[in-house]
Amino acid sequence: MAKKKVMVDELDLPEGVAELLIKDGVKELYPPQAEAVFPALAGKNLMVAIPTASGKSLIAYLATLKQVLENHKKVIYIVPLRALAAEKYDDLRKFEKLGLRVGISVGDFDSPDPRFDKYDIIVATSEKADSLLRHKTDWVKNVALVVADEVHLLHDPGRGPTLEITLAKLKRLNPDIQIIALSATIQNAREVAEWLNAELIESEWRPTKLKEGVYFENKIYYVDNTRHEVRNLKTPVISLVCDAVENGGQCLVFVNTRKATETEAKKIAATLKYSPELEAEEGEESEQTSIAKLLKECMKRGVAFHHAGLTNDQRKYVEKNFKHGHIKCIVATPTLAAGINLPARRVIIRDVQRFGPGGQVAIPVMEVKQMCGRAGRPRFDPYGEAILLANSEEKKSFLIDNYILADSEEIYSKLGNESLLRSHILALIASETAHSRDTLMDFLNSTFYAHQTTVSLLEDTADKVLEFLAQEELIVISEEMIRATFFGKRVSDLYIDPLGAIKLRDALRNYQEGKTIFGFLQAICATPDLLPLYIKSGEDVTYDELVIRRTKELLLEPPNEFSEDYEFYLAEIKTAAMIESWIDEVDEETLLSQYGIGPGDLRNKADTAEWLIYATRELSNIFNKDAYPLLTELMARLKNGVKPELLELVKLRGVGRARARALYKYDLKNFEDLRNIDVYRLARIPGISKVLAERIKKQVDPEWSLANEKKEMIKEPPVVTPSSPHQKSLFDF
């Protein structure tokens, strides 16, 4: 560790960088930063494994600015989550005044993104970075630095293999590329550093002291042998939260289920005597669901809950109010700990078990350490506290020994799974990174999996994948080479699982004009890319009957009803029925209640469905062009959750499914109708404010102005006649 203080203005930084950092309050580097900064600025590979909130990002930012402003190169900044991408994008944009340009890429996988040629820094999720590489974009050749944030997620079965393959590809594209990997503290950080040919920087240093302990019988027992007595209130969590808030702190409470976040937040809100001044809500129109109402009620008492079932707007609103001190306590699932930078004075970990295969399973030490790492706000708190809960002396000892004093687990590559390799092997062939079995094995030998074990363990699995891809006509294998077919190339570019693409191909081949959209909805729900809803006890009869009623609409042959696959098939049917209800404008609250999901889940399913229908439409150019118009309309309906007649109205900014339906009810069915109505009558429609009415008028008629509107008011306004007895007129209120 560097002994000497390292001041920002003493570093060899591009012109203007030090001044901006000092203005932002960063004058002196933390010890781990001081150790890492010199090799980072010298262009060396680094593996930085230090605790959360110890300043990992700044090391990467400084190396990024050096490569862009002095070396005139590009940088890819890879993060695991969209929320984290947005945070890094905002951080890096602060340096745009120095002349660099920052772009963010987290969606639309079927695009080479030529616009990124003008950006110096591209912030992307690992999936999007992988997609960009599949498209063989020219600007990638100018990338001199890749930052891999949260690189310990190589261990994650979902995201890990994509990050691993992406880093291996970048190393192969440019052997001289600089890699800076940022990680929480892990047992085998040196092994990851060796794979990346990187210098290892390890430290346990934190900017704020972390006091860890266990709460038992109204006392916190810290591992530094100190104790703190807490006033006994209704529950341990409420006692700890109120104790922290009364002493001027904020709390994060981690629980193991979404439902528990809502229940616990409601209990805390009923006890906490705090009335915050919340900031004004932002975002477009959204339906008021029971979850939204509960969240608002909790926030009125300074408490919120946070989980993946919330919409993006809801999560951002909670995070913003917490950062600004208006919310005193967030109850969250552990995903928050691995996401954005949201520290608190006290972190309370209620649960160290969650439901998994075979019942309740222990949460990994690494995950608990990440939650603990959120304790203490640098520059605001003198210390941070991370507290686990015990209900017995035995449990107290267990938590201290097995979590607080334990080391994080080692991380292992998850690349050996056949279902994961399918997509990546096809992409390697389609992008011509591998053009024979030998070159494919040579590439796989450069992965973290091969570094930890041996590539021979991957060979049998890779051969099975090659056989499968050839059998389904995604690739062609000859004696000398392997190449992707046009179908295989499109599947790789579309970033969908080859197994799912085969189902979409079969559905397209079975489609005939006159068939309904339900068959395509079931087909996309049968792909590995869209996780179906669960079939609850007793629901199998309901969806079995639905299959019988709608058999003629289906495009894929159902499995035998006595087979093990049939319950999975019913889950696909249930998910398709939910998506169909969404585009048939069933109100959101009914959907959430009927299917037992959150508004965020509904949006995620609709977004994924839209993407898969887009992929199906693209594949229709190969297998059945007659389906193209139907799929084009279905995409637009999925995006907005509307029936076909509202598709023109929802193109307006600020008009979602509810407002579009309100306009339609008042016989305003298209842009022409909106041009012909005056702004004052438009503003009288429920859900349409005067400000929104003016925005709508400007969108449908660029020449429109309020001054002209007032002149026109002298004339007789147009009569709006209801098109049905149930439709209201603007003169009815």
Per-residue model confidence as pLDDT tens digits over 176-207:
999 999 998 889 999 999 999 999 999 989 88
Is the model's pLDDT at 3 over the cut of 80?
Answer: no
Q: CA 601 to CA 582: how far, in whole Å?
A: 12
Residue at 459: amino acid letter = E
Q: What is the predicted pLDDT for the residue at 619?
A: 98
Task: Report in angstroms the alpha-carbon separations of 295 from 288, 308, 487, 573, 615.
Answer: 11, 14, 46, 31, 36
Element (H, E) at 214: strand 209-216
Mean pLDDT confidence for 662-687: 93
Q: What is the predicted pLDDT for the residue at 108?
A: 59
DSSP 410: P
Is the model's pLDDT at 212 over the cut of 90?
Answer: yes
Among 74-88, 122-136, 506-520, 700-714, which is the least confidently predicted range? 700-714
Mean pLDDT confidence for 261-268: 95
Among 624-628, 646-650, 711-715, which is the least confidently predicted range? 711-715
Element (H, E) at 476: strand 475-477
Residue at 76: amino acid letter = I
Mean pLDDT confidence for 301-324: 91
Q: CA 342 to CA 332: how far, in whole Å?
A: 12
Q: CA 385 to CA 113: how far, in whole Å?
A: 44
Q: What is the predicted pLDDT for the residue at 287?
A: 64
CA angle, 333 then 246 then 346, to 5°: 35
Q: CA 657 to CA 640: how far, in whole Å?
A: 6
Element (H, E) at 465: helix 456-471
Residues across the chain: 733
Among 340-344, 665-669, 686-690, 703-707, which is the least confidently predicted range? 703-707
Is the model's pLDDT at 81 over the cut of 90?
Answer: no
Is the model's pLDDT at 722 over the cut of 50?
Answer: no
Q: Helix, strand, or coil here: 300?
A: coil
Is the model's pLDDT at 724 over the cut of 60?
Answer: no
Q: CA 567 to CA 351: how far, in whole Å?
A: 31
Contacts of 732 (CB under 8 A, 6+ apart): none
Residues 443 and 164: beta-carbon distance below 8 Å:
no
Q: CA 366 to CA 398: how far, in whole Å?
A: 16
And the tokens for 225? 């042998």
Residue 83: band (very low, low, confident or very high) from pLDDT cuts 50, 70, 90: confident
Q: What is the predicted pLDDT for the residue at 714?
A: 42
Residues 354 and 360: beta-carbon distance below 8 Å:
yes
Residue 664: band (very low, low, confident or very high) from pLDDT cuts 50, 70, 90: very high
Maximum alpha-carbon separation in the chain: 84
Which pTM value belongs to this model?
Answer: 0.89
Segments of the chain assigned to CATH 1.10.3380.30: 498-641
Segments of the chain assigned to CATH 1.10.10.10: 418-494
More confident residue, 184 or 607: 607
Catalogue the E-assigned strands of 25-136.
46-49, 74-79, 102-105, 121-125
Residue 137: band (very low, low, confident or very high) from pLDDT cuts 50, 70, 90: confident
For the chain, what percent of residues have pLDDT higher than 70?
93
Segments of the chain assigned to CATH 1.10.150.20: 650-712
Is the model's pLDDT at 720 over the cut of 60?
Answer: no
Exposed, middle or buried: residue 388 (CB in 10 Å: 0-12, 13-18, 19+)? buried
Task: Report in angstroms the alpha-carbon separations of 358 from 164, 203, 361, 457, 626.
Answer: 29, 37, 8, 28, 47
pLDDT in tens, 389-432: 999 999 999 999 999 999 999 999 999 988 889 999 999 999 99
What's phi and psi for 351, nearest 5 deg? -120, 135
Is the model's pLDDT at 618 over the cut of 70?
Answer: yes
Q: Which residue, 410, 416, 404, is CA-closest to 447?
A: 416
pLDDT in tens, 685-706: 998 999 999 999 999 998 887 7
Q: CA 466 to CA 705: how far, in whole Å?
A: 63
Residue 335: band (very low, low, confident or very high) from pLDDT cuts 50, 70, 90: confident
CA angle, 327 then 331 then 336, to 5°: 100
Residues 121 and 92: beta-carbon distance below 8 Å:
yes
Is the model's pLDDT at 365 over the cut of 50?
Answer: yes
Is the model's pLDDT at 120 over the cut of 70?
Answer: yes
Neighbours of 545 (CB within 10 A): 10
Q: What is the predicted pLDDT for the residue at 239?
A: 96
Is the model's pLDDT at 493 over the cut of 90?
Answer: yes
Q: Which residue, 324, 331, 321, is CA-closest to 238?
A: 331
Alpha helices (H) in 182-331, listed in sequence order: 189-195, 236-246, 258-271, 290-299, 312-323
Q: Which CATH class is domain 498-641?
A: mainly alpha
C-alpha 113, offset from chain centre = 20
Is the model's pLDDT at 110 over the cut of 70?
Answer: no
Q: Which CATH class is domain 209-404?
A: alpha beta
Q: Helix, strand, or coil here: 96?
A: helix
Q: What is the predicted pLDDT for the residue at 2?
A: 46
Residue that is written with structure tokens 């907005």 in the block: 640
Exposed, middle or buried: residue 443 (CB in 10 Å: 0-12, 13-18, 19+)? buried
Q: What is the mean pLDDT of the chain?
A: 90
Q: What is the predicted pLDDT for the residue at 111?
A: 59
Q: CA 386 to CA 224: how far, in whole Å?
A: 13
Q: What is the predicted pLDDT for the residue at 109?
A: 55
Mean pLDDT confidence for 219-247: 94
Q: CA 398 to CA 578: how far, in whole Å?
A: 44
Is the model's pLDDT at 275 over the cut of 90?
Answer: no
Is the model's pLDDT at 134 over the cut of 80?
Answer: yes
Q: What is the predicted pLDDT for the residue at 355?
A: 83
Burial 143-163, CB ≥16 within 10 A → b, else e? bbbbbbbbbbbbbbeebbbbb
Burial 560-584, CB ≥16 within 10 A → b, else e? eeeeeebeebbbbbbbbbbbbbbbe
Q: What is the predicted pLDDT for the residue at 728?
A: 42
And the tokens for 465? 């994948």
Is the model's pLDDT at 107 over the cut of 80?
Answer: no
pLDDT in tens, 444-465: 999 999 999 988 889 999 999 9
Q: What is the predicted pLDDT for the residue at 339?
A: 66
Q: Which residue, 38, 126, 113, 27, is CA-closest to 76?
A: 126
Task: Report in angstroms the alpha-carbon separations of 269 from 182, 318, 346, 593.
Answer: 37, 15, 17, 24
Is the model's pLDDT at 380 over the cut of 90?
Answer: no
Instruction: Quickly list DSSP for 538-565.
Output: THHHHHHHHHHHTGGG-SSPPPPTTSTT
pLDDT in tens, 32-54: 999 999 999 999 999 999 987 78
Q: What is the predicted pLDDT for the residue at 112?
A: 58
Is the model's pLDDT at 515 over the cut of 80?
Answer: yes
Query: What architecture is domain 650-712?
Result: Orthogonal Bundle (1.10)
More confident residue, 106 or 300: 300
Q: What is the SS3 string spanning 649-669?
A: HHHCCCCCHHHHHHHHHCCCC
What's the CATH number for 8-202?
3.40.50.300
Is the model's pLDDT at 732 over the cut of 90?
Answer: no
Q: CA 347 to CA 404: how far, in whole Å?
A: 13
Residue that is written with structure tokens 């498209």 in the block: 135
Mean pLDDT confidence for 502-524: 95
And the tokens for 2? 């560097």
Among 159-163, 380-384, 527-531, which is the least confidently predicted range? 380-384
Torsion of CA 602, 603, 604, 609, to 10 degrees: 90
Q: Which residue, 290, 330, 328, is CA-closest to 307?
A: 330
Mean pLDDT confidence for 713-719: 45
More confident residue, 279 or 647: 647
Residues 692 and 685: beta-carbon distance below 8 Å:
no
Q: Which residue, 662, 713, 716, is CA-closest to 689?
A: 662
Is the model's pLDDT at 93 over the cut of 90?
Answer: yes
What's the CATH number for 418-494?
1.10.10.10
Alpha helices (H) in 400-485, listed in sequence order: 418-430, 437-444, 448-452, 456-471
Segments of the chain assigned to CATH 3.40.50.300: 8-202, 209-404
Q: CA 247 to CA 232: how far, in whole Å?
A: 16
Is the model's pLDDT at 467 over the cut of 70?
Answer: yes
